[in-house]
A and B are shown apart, each in its own frame.
Chain A
Amino acid sequence: MTGWRPLLPAAAAGTTLTALGLLSLTVPAARTLPGNASGPHLAPPSARYPFGTTDTGLSVLDLVVFGAHRTLIIAALSTALALGVGTATGVLAGHFQGWPDRVLSRFTQWVLVLPQLPLAITIAAVLGPGLAQLSLAIALAYWPATARVVRAAVVATESLPHLERARALGAGHWRQIRVHTWPAVLPVVITCTTLTLGNALLSEATLSFFGLGDTTSVTWGGMLQDASGIGAITAGAWWYLLAPGLAITLVVMVCSIAGRSTEAALGRHQAHGLLLRRPRWRRSAAGEPAGPEPV
C-alpha cells in the first residue's frame, strides 16, 4: 500500500478548499457589500487599500473577499451538476455494457471532442443570464471528462471476481452498483470533483468576461469584466485586475494539486503523478522480474 505520506498534498489541498468554502459561506453573513464607496477612485495599492481601489472607490480586496461567496457557489453548483451527469452516464455505460454502453460512450466521446468554451458560450447565451443558467451551461460543457473516467473505472471493476460472484448469486443491478461498483469508483469521482471544480471556476470567469456571467452579484470573473469594461488596462490600473485574477489562479491551483495528488496517491498513474513520484524502478531493479506491463 502507498501509506499516508503520498496523501499529504491532497489532504493539505482538501483542507484549504474546505476552509475556503466555509469562509465564503460565512463572509456574506458577517459583512455586507461595502456599498458606500469611501475610498479614492481607481487608486493604486496603498497601506489602507492593499490591492488598490475600483473606479467607484471600493477596495478591490474587499470586493474579492465578498465575491468569493457567489463565485464559489456557481463553481460548486456547476461541478455538482457536471459530476452528477458524468457519474451517472459513466456508471450506466460501464455497468450495463452492450448497446447502452455503445450509445452512451459514443455520445460522451462526441461531446468530449467539441470545444468546451464555444459550447458553453452558446448554451449560456441561449439560456440567458442567471446563476442557474450559467451553472447549467458550464456543467453541460464539462461533464464528459467525468463520464469517460468513471466508465473506465467501472469497466475495470466489472470483471473482478467478487462482482462476478455477486452476479452469480443473483444480486440485482442496483445492489451490484451500490455495494460493489460504487466503492471502487468513489476515488475516481473525488479526483474528478477537484479537476472539474477548477475548470468550472475558469469557465465562470471566462463566461463573465464574455458578458454571460451572473450580473446580480459580485463574482471574480465579473470583477475582471468590470475592470476591462472601464478600460482599467489602458488607464494603467493593473491593480484592479490583479487580486481577482490571483484569487482564481490560486483556487484553481489548489484544485489541480488536490486532484493530481489524490490521483497519484491512489496509484492510478504512478509515474504520471505530478507532485509525488513513486520510484517505479524499485520493483524491477531489485532483481525481481518486471510485473505485467501494458504492451
Chain B
Amino acid sequence: MTLLELDGLSVAYPAGQRWARAVRGVSLSVAAGEVVGLAGESGCGKTSVAMSVLRLLPRTAKVTGRIRFGGTDLTGATWGELRAVRWAQAAVVFQGAQHALNPMHRIGTQIAEPALRHGLVTRSAAAAHAADLLQRVGLAPELARDHPHQLSGGQRQRALLATALSCSPRLLIADEPTSALDSVSQAAILGLLRELAAERGIGVLLVSHDLGALAAVCDRIAVMYAGRIVEQGSAEAVLGDPAHPYTEALTGAATVIGDPATRYAPRSLGGAPPDPLSTAPGCAFAPRCPHAGPDCGGEIPLRPAGPGRLVECVRVAS
C-alpha cells in the first residue's frame, strides 16, 4: 500500500528578487514496510523534500506539486488537518540530534509530549510511555530524567528516534539520522529502522549522503542532483549497476569496505554543483559529465531502464 506519494514536487526559496529552486519536480513514493533512500550531495535539495512532506519549510518557501499521504492531499490541507497528521501519522527524525532536542526539557518529557498532546496517553501514563519507548530504542529508561546535554551523541540520536515513535506513526522521515555518529551507533540506528519497517510495517524515507548507509538498509534508492531525481530503482540495481553518470560518479566516490583501492584513490567528481538560481534548460549534470554531448541541452526524458527503474539521461537506451 502506498503511504506517501510525491508528484511533481517543487520547492523554491526567495533569493532577493529571484527564486532559488531547491527542488525541481520530484516524484517519489514510499509504501508501508518499505525503506526508501534519498541520496545526493549537500545542497541537492533532499532535506527540502523531507521537510516539505509535513510542510515544515519556512513560510516564505514556495511549494508546488502534490504531496499525498495515505490518500489525503497535504498540499491543500488546513493547519488543523495538518496538525492531526503531524507525528500521529508521520514523524520526522531530524538531522543533528544535538540541536533537535529542546535543551530545557527532560528527555522523557520530550519523548512523551506528542503522545500526550495527541491524546494517545494520559498525563499519568506519560512517564511509563517514555520509559517504554526508550527501551525500544535500546536506551536505559532512567535516561528519561536527564537533559539532552547529559547524553552522548548516539544516545541523543536514539532518544530522537524514540520521540519519533511516540505516536506509533505509519511513516518515518529520517533526515541524515546517522551522519554525526560513530560507525557502531550508526549501524545500531540503521538496524532499528530496518526492524521497524520489517516488523511494524512502517514506511521509512531515509535521507542521506552516505551511500554505504543507504545500501545497508534500503529497498529502493532515489538519487537526487540539483533538485531532480536523476535515477531511482531497487537498491542493488542503482548501486550495483548505476545507469546515470552522476550515480556512477557517486558510487565511485564512495569507498567500498574491504577494497582498499577505493580508499586510497577515490574517484572524485570534478567541478561543483550548479547554481540553484540558474534556469538553464537541459541536464544540470552535463557540465560535469564525462559523457555529455550537444543533445544534453534539450529536454531530458525520464526513461524506464529495467523493472521499477527510472533514469533521467539521454545516454540511457530504453
Q: Do chains A and B touch in the complex (CB under 8 A)?
A: yes
Q: What's the minimum C-beta distance from A45 to chain B, rounded to whole angstroms?
A: 47
Contact B176 A290 (CB under 8 A): no
A98 interface residue (CB < 8 Å to B): no
Task: Considering the complex, give the chain A residue whose CB is closest to the CB of B180.
Answer: A289
B 35-78 to A, binary, CB cutoff 8 A, 1 in contact else 0 = 00000001111111001000001101100000000000000000
Choice from A279, A282, A287 contacting B47 with Cβ under 8 Å: A287
Q: How far is the CA of A289 from the CA of B209 in the complex (A)?
A: 10
Task: Known A279-B60, A281-B58, A282-B13; judge A287-B44 contact (CB<8 A).
Answer: yes
Once A and B bind, how many residue pairs between them come within 8 Å at the CB atom? 42
Contact B99 A290 (CB under 8 A): yes
Task: Considering the complex, give the chain B residue whose CB is closest to the CB of A281.
Answer: B58
Chain A hits for B46, CB < 8 A: 287
A 274-295 to B, binary, CB cutoff 8 A, 1 in contact else 0 = 0000010110111111100101
Contact A279 B58 (CB under 8 A): yes
B179 interface residue (CB < 8 Å to A): yes
Q: How far is the CA of A289 from the CA of B20 in the complex (A)?
A: 17
Per the CB 8 Å criterion, the residue count for chain A at the interface is: 12
Chain A hits for B98, CB < 8 A: 295
Q: What's the minimum C-beta distance from A4 to chain B, rounded to whole angstroms?
A: 12
Most B CB atoms within 10 A — which of A284, A288, A289?
A289
Contact A287 B22 (CB under 8 A): yes
Q: What's the minimum C-beta distance from B160 to chain A, rounded to whole angstroms?
A: 15
Chain B hits for A290, CB < 8 A: 95-96, 99
Chain A hits for B179, CB < 8 A: 289
Q: What's the minimum C-beta distance from B225 to chain A, rounded to whole angstroms?
A: 12
Contact B95 A293 (CB under 8 A): no
B 18-35 to A, binary, CB cutoff 8 A, 1 in contact else 0 = 001010000000000000
Task: Known A290-B99, A293-B99; judge A285-B20 contact (CB<8 A).
Answer: no
Contact A285 B48 (CB under 8 A): yes
Q: What's the minimum C-beta distance from B253 to chain A, rounded to whole angstroms?
A: 17
Q: What's the minimum C-beta distance from A145 to chain B, rounded to whole angstroms?
A: 29
Choice from A279, A285, A286, A289 contacting B176 with Cβ under 8 Å: A289
Q: How far is the CA of A286 from the CA of B13 in the complex (A)?
A: 8
Contact A287 B45 (CB under 8 A): yes
Q: What's the minimum C-beta distance from B205 to chain A, rounded to whole angstroms?
A: 14
Q: What's the minimum C-beta distance from B316 to chain A, rounded to whole angstroms?
A: 26
A 121-161 to B, binary, CB cutoff 8 A, 1 in contact else 0 = 00000000000000000000000000000000000000000
Interface residues of B in 88-104 (CB under 8 A from A): 95-96, 98-99
Chain B hits for A293, CB < 8 A: 99
Q: How far is the CA of A290 from the CA of B99 in the complex (A)?
A: 10
Chain B hits for A289, CB < 8 A: 42, 95-96, 176, 179
Chain B hits for A288, CB < 8 A: 42-43, 47
B 205-240 to A, binary, CB cutoff 8 A, 1 in contact else 0 = 000000000000000000000000000000000000
Interface residues of B in 169-199 (CB under 8 A from A): 176, 179
Contact A285 B42 (CB under 8 A): no
Contact B58 A286 (CB under 8 A): no
Q: How far is the CA of A286 from the CA of B12 in the complex (A)?
A: 9
Chain A hits for B43, CB < 8 A: 286-288
B interface residues with partner A (beta carbon < 8 Å): 13, 15, 20, 22, 42-48, 51, 57-58, 60-61, 95-96, 98-99, 176, 179, 276
19 more A-B residue pairs beyond the given contacts A287-B43, A287-B46, A290-B95, with a C-beta to C-beta distance below 8 A:
A279-B58, A279-B60, A282-B13, A284-B47, A285-B47, A285-B48, A286-B20, A286-B22, A286-B43, A286-B47, A286-B276, A287-B42, A287-B44, A287-B47, A288-B42, A289-B42, A289-B95, A289-B179, A290-B99
CB-defined A-B contacts under 8 Å, sample of 12: A281-B58, A282-B15, A285-B58, A286-B45, A286-B47, A287-B43, A287-B45, A287-B46, A288-B42, A289-B95, A289-B96, A289-B179
